[in-house]
Chains A and B, each alone.
Chain A
Amino acid sequence: MAKNISVTIKFWKQNGPKDKGHFDTHELKNIPDDTSFLEALDIMNEELIGEGREPFVFDHDCREGICGMCSLYINGTPHGKTERGATTCQLYMRKFKDGETITVEPWRSAGFPVIKDCMVDRNAFDKIMQAGGYTTVRTGQAQDANAILIPKEDADEAMDCASCIGCGACVAACKNGSAMLFVSSKVSQLALLPQGKVEAAKRAKAMVAKMDELGFGNCTNTRACEAVCPKCETISNIARLNREFICAKLAD
């Protein structure tokens, strides 16, 4: 049986990247605890609009943990301190205590400028992907699935890497604002497969160069990213990326 709880939402307001920004608060009363956190924010926004105020702006799309749009820093942790492997949209009000104050902030990182409130510009990730996160194939019919044999373990591991949804929580959690967990997952998902090996050296160099150019920091192995990643990507991906990168550099 769901019970109702009341909470105070302390949320970040910021009108564009240049604005200083500040916190606003709103009391949410009698919210059924099987409401998702984002639904609670929808309810809050209806109430704000009812008072003639502007709603709190945040990113969201699929609301089922697959698209990577939701991106809230909740009570000091990207995606909130829920069970491992959950996105902001998979967080429910039953995880909070009656009377609690919930603080909501944007991803704060030089690589992700604020557009408004908690909506940040994550175009940098797309630019990194464009730099090399693909394999060059000829347009046309896909070839037969069994034409290239791939060991099951490799396929599974590549799939685990590919499950990174590009949310950016790893960057938000990192004290250096490093995008290494994201980049290494995207490099690994291809490097592990025969189709990706052909351009592996070029890819690793291009993606790392783009990441540096866009103002993301370096990895110092603090593993904060791993702890918050909603898809449980591990820093062994980073080790793999470093290997790919060093091999590519040595070959130059």
Chain B
Amino acid sequence: MLPYTIQNYLADQAIWPRLSTDLPEFEATEQAVEKEIDRLMNIKGKRSVDSIHKELGHIMWEHVGMGRTKEGLEEGLKLLKALRQEFDTNLFIPGSKEGLNVELDKAIHLRDFILMGELVAYDALHREESCGGHFREEHQTEEGEAKRDDENFFYVGCWDYQGSDDKAPELVKEPLNYEIIKVQQRNYKN
């Protein structure tokens, strides 16, 4: 009975008080966003947001795709860092920050996308094994299947931001501990 009624009970409890914007955290965040917007508007370079976005797509496709190699990922990371530099020094956003500015909107997202791309490349480079959608071409079985390395990568990983975009993130591990099932290679053949 419980599973059928609990959601309805919980739905009635979800009466959230409106949070005040009169808090120091809100003010600090507002100022940080304001500062970032001013920084972006003042780069006044030559390249449009879309042109950099498309370049990001090409780098990810070429070097950080599903089949990846150590060399390719290292090259990709280099290109991504250079692209972030290009974004920070040569971006052009027309118009002003007052009112709707779609280019500014896209630029704010794009900066996150580039960092996200770097993080994906970072993680893929670190993980010296193949598993699931992460296929390191160096690590495959004779039949071309993903080859795991449970001795060294038997954990769930998470990257801890070190306070600056230029510092390498730090890996936090949570070991996997299966008590009942036996860990084995997945096999779609039989």
Q: Which residues of A contact B (CB under 8 A)?
A: 15-16, 42, 45-46, 48-50, 52-55, 57, 115-116, 119, 138-141
Contact = CB atoms under 8 A, between A and B. Distances in A.
A141 B50 contact: no
Question: Chain B CB within 10 Å — which of A46, A54, A115 has the most?
Answer: A54
Nearest to A138: B8
Contact of A15 (B10, B99, B103): B99
Given A55-B102, A57-B100, A115-B100, 11 more contacts: A15-B99, A42-B50, A45-B50, A46-B48, A49-B103, A52-B92, A54-B94, A116-B99, A116-B100, A139-B8, A140-B5
A49 B4 contact: no
Contacts of B103: 49, 54-55
Query: Which secondary structure dominates where chain B touches chain A?
Result: helix
B100 A119 contact: yes
B59 to A, nearest CB: 19
A140 B7 contact: yes
9 contacts: A16-B99, A46-B48, A46-B50, A46-B51, A50-B48, A57-B100, A57-B102, A116-B99, A140-B7
Nearest to B99: A16
A55 B94 contact: yes
Interface size range of chain B in the complex:
10 to 19
Contacts of B50: 42, 45-46
B95 interface: yes
Given A16-B99, A42-B50, A116-B99, A53 B94 contact: yes
A16 B95 CA distance: 14
Nearest to A119: B100
Given A138-B8, A139-B11, A140-B8, A49 B92 contact: yes
Interface in B44-82: 48, 50-51
A144 to B, nearest CB: 13
Interface in B87-117: 92, 94-95, 99-100, 102-103
Contacts of B92: 49, 52
A64 to B, nearest CB: 19
Contacts of B133: none
Given A46-B48, A57-B102, A119-B100, A140 B4 contact: yes
A57 to B, nearest CB: 6
Nearest to B3: A141
Nearest to A116: B100
A69 B50 CA distance: 20
Contacts of B10: 139
Nearest to B101: A54
Nearest to B94: A54
B141 to A, nearest CB: 39
B54 to A, nearest CB: 10
Contact of B94 (A15, A16, A52): A52
Top 9 A-B pairs ranked by shortest CB distance? A139-B11, A140-B7, A49-B48, A54-B95, A139-B7, A54-B94, A139-B8, A116-B100, A138-B8
